[in-house]
Amino acid sequence: MSNRLSGRVAIVTGGANGLGEAIAGKFAAEGAVVVIADVDEPAMEQVGGELGVETSHCDVSDRASVQALVDGVVERHGRLDIMVANAGIANSPKYLDIDDEFWGRMIDVNLTGVFLCNQIAARHMVARGNGGVLLNTASILGAEGNPQTPAYAASKAGVISLTRSGAMALGEFGIRVNAVGPGYMKTRMTEGLRAVPELEKSLAEMVPLNRFGEAGDIADAAVFLASDEASYITGHTLFVDGGWLTHHLPARTEEQEEIRVRAQAEAEAR
At 215, is the secondary structure helix, strand, or coil? Answer: helix
Directed axis angle between helix 18-29 and helix 215-226, to 10°? 50
Set 95, 152, 184, 232: catalytic member: 152
What DSSP letter does each residue of 15-27 carry, written as one string? TTSHHHHHHHHHH
Q: Where are the alpha helices (DSSP H) in the chain?
A: 18-29, 41-51, 63-77, 100-107, 113-128, 140-144, 150-170, 191-194, 197-205, 215-226, 254-269
Consecutive H or E run containing 37: strand 33-38
- 244-262: b (≥16 Cβ within 10 Å) or e: beeeeeeeeeeeeeebbee
Establish whether 95 is a catalytic residue.
no
* Active centre residues (catalytic): 152
